[in-house]
């Protein structure tokens, strides 16, 4: 690796570039550029480079001044006609790589559209000798499976690896190769997504010489003369025989056929332009402050607007302001269903200037939308979290709608939070970031409190519509009831009946997540909690114990309630499916629909339900937290919250925050049209501050209490956290490696006084101790300052004393984790 020099001053005959490769490696690698590619190579380009024994996708990061002594390898080719991202975005990607401790090449791979990556794949095949010898030589079940598979033909290495799980042995394969029984070959694979091209026809003949042509040929040229070059497919509309005709005319030199890139169109039918309403005085005030800031350097605003206060209209007008200043706009939305709603609003206002980026698109459509942004053909991009990587050259405004939503957190390989990245990108681009919510994350509200963000409020609903009236039903009154009567209270069922009579819609909310067993005392509603952490315990079925996954505390599952002593600890067993059945039984003629992860798994299913709701083909919608997201449906006048306590008892320090946000958001779905809304909120804890604050729709009351709790217990935003998760099929291996990491961590901490401020929790078995046969352990590290925390984790995982995991054991880092289970 060599020093970087982005602007080599003199022409040189050996042009060198630095490249990040799409592999889990942190290095930058230097390559020579062959003469033929010299003119075209540029920062941001994807290249094919030799790496070890194979070729992989690489990304040009910059030019290098000089190279290490060893013989330099050459770039083999450029993978795209133009750079996929502007050079100006490199510092952003580098920041992500550093902060989230993820190799730059993999950051780029995650950021760019999927399906375009190419790399050599190793193809293994049997030699003639191997075909004879190996069937007797193979010993383990995996070896026998491999020989069996190879006898049917060549096979890719990862497929062979997967054949036998734990038995897999690279050494065995290498030995076979040395003995001449198998051979390995590289073939270039992947890259299945390409820009779409179409055949275009261009006229070549002069009008004067057209006299001699046949009538159909003349007709075709006449169309082209009028319309210019055309796609053959479009020409068919005028001349049905165009395809054949064009081919013959091209052979005679009368037209030219060329392939041109076209975009796959995910937008579908055009949307009729809207008539922007006059902003309310509150909206006007909000706009004045934020709009004037665009184009004048970095600032982040936190827009706190009650549900129904018209935040979308504020976003639209801010976007218009940004466009007027000749800069671009990025809009992030948490879920696809909300994208369609926001997309609609933006397309009605800005038409074809809008590009979409979300997982509902096919890979090809996504690539095309990416290119439209990259080529400067659109000024606004809307999308889910990964749209934060949209390749705008110069960005003026980044809007994050429903900024509190956990959907902004990306799990999986590269773990990031798109809301946090929005602020980082805005800062680097000297742009304005607007984070909007009725129930901001505690983190953002705290940032506003300490002056990092500027807070702007919308206190009132549009048109003086009233906030919904909220009735709290104490569920402990009904604890002697059985079955459905414990939850379908008189207050609720009367409300539903009234609503159905008025031909209005009902939303019933029950947040029952499959893996979280809510441990709630049946007598008093107290959630079972850890004595040392004030965090809910989780039931572990295998060991029949309640455990705290923060500190490792464990107690037998038969324990009594800490508040009232009752031994009737309920694991709440009611879910949306049962609820939907109960309500249908009670109201046989009502049209009941259910919206949860089970009913929306198929592509398009969620949008379908929402459409039916909009068209009033659903009377009662039963749903999980999905229904809480910022949908706008004017005919919902009753919202029933079946059991508000479920999310309170999750084993997470954010349980109170999530509960408040969920309840306030769900309640906010009621009464958004002309008719006033009503909410029946049922709970075992009517006095819990998360619940009383939601009842009063009082964000600040909630914030004041919750922030004290966080400070007292040293949780974010007063500390930062990093979670290290150790997973693998081999349970003993996972535990051993987790322990080794724990020991290394303690040693590091003792050796360096700067680490005294850090707290190491664990290693401990994760609350979800096993997923898909992979055992899970974790280590949580928290500290008041980011620098020491990150230096520590880096040393722990990548430093000289870092323990190397055995093969099959994976270590993942989650910086600022959101899901702690
Ligand atoms: P929020 O996202 O703040 O909950 P929305 O942006 O969904 O609220 O707006 C609520 C409703 O008010 C929408 O139906 C929207 O069209 C309407 N609306 C917003 N601003 C105005 C305005 N200035 N005049 C009239 N109606 C408005
Ligand atoms: Zn109790
Ligand atoms: Zn604990």
- Which ligand 1 atom is at minimum distance from the Cα of 458? 3
- Atom 19 (ligand 1): residue with closest C-alpha? 310
Please tell me if the domain spanning 469-513+575-710 has the same topology as the one spanning 720-815: no
For domain 16-119, the CATH class is alpha beta
Question: How far does the centroid of ligand 2 lie from the alpha carbon of residue 622, in Å?
Answer: 29
CB 131 within 8 A of CB 151: yes
Ligand 1 atom with the smallest distance to the CA of 279 is 23
Q: Determine the pLDDT at residue 193.
A: 64
Neighbouring residues of 11: CB distance < 8 A, sequence distance ≥ 6: none
Q: What is the CATH number of domain 281-464?
A: 3.40.50.300
- Give average pLDDT by consecutive 10-residue segment, the chain, 821 residues: 42 76 88 87 89 88 76 84 88 95 91 74 83 84 86 82 69 84 76 72 73 85 83 84 89 84 63 85 94 95 92 96 96 78 87 84 84 91 94 95 92 92 97 96 96 95 83 84 78 93 91 54 76 65 66 72 78 72 92 82 79 90 80 84 79 86 85 82 90 90 93 91 93 95 95 93 82 83 94 92 89 90 72
Contact status, residue 486 vs residue 478, Cβ threshold 8 Å: yes
pLDDT tens, position by position, 133-186: 888 888 888 888 888 888 888 888 878 877 766 666 777 888 888 888 888 777
Class of domain 469-513+575-710: alpha beta
Distance from the alpha carbon of residue 568 to the mean position of ligand 2, in angstroms:
8
Q: Does 155 show up as a binding residue in the annotation?
A: no
Q: Is 524 annotated as a binding residue?
A: yes
> For residues 395 and 429, is the Cβ–Cβ distance under 8 A?
yes
Ligand 1, atom 24, residue with closest C-alpha:
277
Nearest CA to ligand 1 atom 13: 310
Report which bound ligand comes closest to the CA of 476: 2
- For residue 9, the model assigns a pLDDT of 40
Q: Is 505 left (phi over 0), alpha (psi -120 to 50) or beta?
A: beta
* 499 labeled binding residue: no
Q: What DSSP string describes 729-798?
A: S-HHHHHHHHHHHHHHHHHHHHH-GGGGG-EEEEEEEEEEEEETTEEEEEEEEEES-HHHHHHHHHHHHH
Cα-to-centroid distance, 577 and ligand 1 (Å): 33
Kindly tell me the number of DSSP H helices and DSSP E strands found in the chain. 23, 35
Backbone angles phi, psi at 330, to 5 degrees: -115, 130
Domain 720-815, CATH 3.30.70.600 — does that match?
A: yes
pLDDT digits (tens, 9 = 90+) for 697-746: 889 999 999 999 999 988 999 999 999 999 998 999 999 999 999 999 99
User: pTM, whole model, 2 decimals?
Assistant: 0.79
- Atom in ligand 1 nearest the alpha carbon of residue 306: 3
Q: Where are the domains of the chain?
A: 16-119, 120-190, 281-464, 469-513+575-710, 514-574, 720-815
- Contact residues for 264 (Cβ-Cβ < 8 A; gap 6+): 196, 362, 364, 365, 368
Q: Residue 536 CA: which ligand is closest?
A: 3
- In Å, how far are 71, 322, 389, 555 from 297, measured between CA atoms? 46, 13, 20, 55
Which residue from 282, 312, 669, 670 has its CB within 8 A of the most atoms of ligand 1, so it is best to mutate? 312
CA of 231 to the centre of ligand 3 (A): 67
Per-residue pLDDT tens digits for 34-73: 888 888 888 888 899 999 888 888 999 999 887 665 678 8
Residues touching ligand 1 (Cβ under 6 Å) are: 277, 279-280, 283, 305, 307-313, 462, 630, 632
């Amino acid at each position: 690796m060599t020093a970087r020099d982005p602007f080599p001053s003199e022409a040189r005959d050996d042009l060198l570039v630095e490249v990040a490769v799409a592999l889990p490696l942190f290095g930058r690698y230097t390559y020579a550029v062959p003469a033929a590619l010299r003119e075209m190579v540029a920062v941001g380009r994807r290249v094919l480079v030799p790496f070890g024994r194979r070729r992989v996708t690489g990304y040009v990061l910059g030019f290098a001044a000089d190279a290490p002594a060893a013989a330099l390898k050459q770039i083999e080719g450029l993978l795209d006609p133009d750079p996929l991202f502007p050079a100006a975005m490199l510092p952003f990607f580098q920041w992500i790589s550093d902060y989230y401790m993820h190799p730059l090449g993999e950051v780029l791979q995650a950021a760019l559209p999927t399906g375009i990556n190419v790399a050599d794949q190793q193809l293994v095949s049997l030699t003639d000798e191997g075909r004879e010898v190996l069937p007797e030589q193979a010993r383990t079940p995996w070896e026998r499976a491999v020989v069996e598979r190879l006898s049917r033909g060549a096979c890719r290495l990862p497929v062979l690896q997967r054949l036998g799980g734990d038995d897999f042995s690279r050494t065995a394969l290498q030995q076979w190769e040395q003995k001449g029984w198998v051979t390995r070959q590289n073939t270039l694979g992947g890259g299945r997504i390409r820009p779409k091209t179409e055949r275009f026809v261009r006229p070549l003949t002069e009008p004067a010489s057209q006299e001699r042509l046949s009538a159909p040929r003349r007709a075709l040229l006449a169309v082209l003369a009028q319309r210019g070059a055309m796609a053959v497919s479009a020409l068919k509309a005028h001349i049905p025989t165009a395809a054949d005709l064009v081919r013959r005319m091209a052979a005679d030199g009368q037209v030219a056929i060329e392939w041109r890139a076209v975009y796959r169109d995910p937008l579908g039918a055009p949307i009729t332009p809207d008539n922007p309403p006059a902003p309310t005085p509150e909206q006007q005030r909000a706009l004045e402050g934020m709009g004037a800031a665009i184009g004048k350097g970095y600032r982040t605003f936190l827009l706190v607007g009650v549900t129904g206060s018209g935040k979308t209209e504020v976003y639209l007008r801010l976007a218009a302001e940004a466009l007027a200043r000749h800069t671009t706009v990025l809009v992030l939305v948490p879920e696809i269903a909300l994208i369609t709603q926001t997309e609609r609003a933006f397309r009605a206002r800005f038409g074809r200037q809008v590009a979409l980026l979300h997982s509902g698109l096919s890979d090809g459509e996504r690539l095309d939308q990416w290119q439209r942004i990259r080529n400067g053909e659109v000024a606004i991009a809307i999308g889910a979290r990964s749209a934060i990587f949209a390749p705008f050259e110069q960005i003026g405004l980044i809007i994050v709608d429903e900024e509190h939503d956990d959907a902004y957190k990306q799990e999986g390989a590269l773990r990031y939070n798109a809301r946090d990245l929005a602020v980082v990108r805005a800062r680097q681009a000297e742009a304005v970031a607007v984070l909007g919510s009725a129930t901001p994350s505690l983190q953002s509200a705290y940032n506003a409190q300490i002056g990092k963000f500027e807070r702007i409020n919308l206190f009132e609903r549009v048109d003086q519509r009233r906030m919904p009236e909220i009735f709290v039903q104490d569920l402990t009154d009904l604890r002697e009831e059985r079955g459905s009567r414990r939850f379908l209270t008189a207050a609720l069922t009367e409300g539903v009946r009234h609503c159905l009579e008025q031909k209005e819609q009902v939303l019933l909310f029950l947040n029952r997540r499959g893996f979280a067993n809510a441990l709630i005392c049946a007598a008093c509603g107290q959630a079972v909690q850890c004595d040392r952490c004030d965090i809910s315990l989780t039931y572990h079925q295998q060991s029949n114990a309640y455990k705290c996954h923060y500190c490792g505390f464990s107690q037998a599952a038969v324990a009594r309630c800490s508040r009232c002593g009752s031994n009737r600890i309920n694991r709440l067993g009611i879910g949306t499916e049962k609820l939907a059945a109960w309500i249908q039984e009670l109201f046989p003629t009502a049209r009941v629909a259910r919206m949860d992860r089970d009913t929306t798994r198929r592509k398009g299913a969620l949008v379908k339900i929402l459409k039916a709701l909009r068209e009033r083909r659903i009377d009662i919608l039963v749903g999980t937290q999905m229904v809480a997201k910022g949908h706008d449906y004017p005919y919902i006048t009753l919202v029933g919250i079946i059991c508000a306590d479920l999310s309170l008892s999750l084993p997470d320090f954010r349980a109170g925050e999530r509960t408040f946000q969920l309840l306030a958001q769900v309640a906010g779905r009621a009464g958004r049209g002309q008719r006033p809304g009503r909410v029946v909120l049922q709970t075992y804890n009517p006095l819990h501050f998360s619940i009383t604050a939601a009842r009063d729709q009082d964000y600040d009351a909630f914030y004041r209490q919750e922030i004290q709790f966080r400070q007292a217990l040293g949780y974010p935003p007063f500390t930062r956290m990093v979670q290290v998760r150790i997973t693998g099929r081999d349970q003993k291996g996972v535990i051993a490696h987790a322990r080794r990491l724990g020991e290394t961590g303690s040693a590091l901490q003792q050796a360096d006084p700067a680490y005294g401020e850090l707290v190491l929790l664990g290693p401990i078995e994760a609350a979800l101790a096993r997923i898909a046969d992979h055992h899970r352990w974790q280590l949580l590290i928290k500290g008041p300052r980011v620098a020491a925390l990150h230096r520590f984790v880096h040393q722990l995982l990548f430093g000289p004393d870092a323990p190397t995991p055995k093969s099959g054991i994976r270590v993942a880092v989650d910086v600022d984790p959101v899901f702690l289970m």
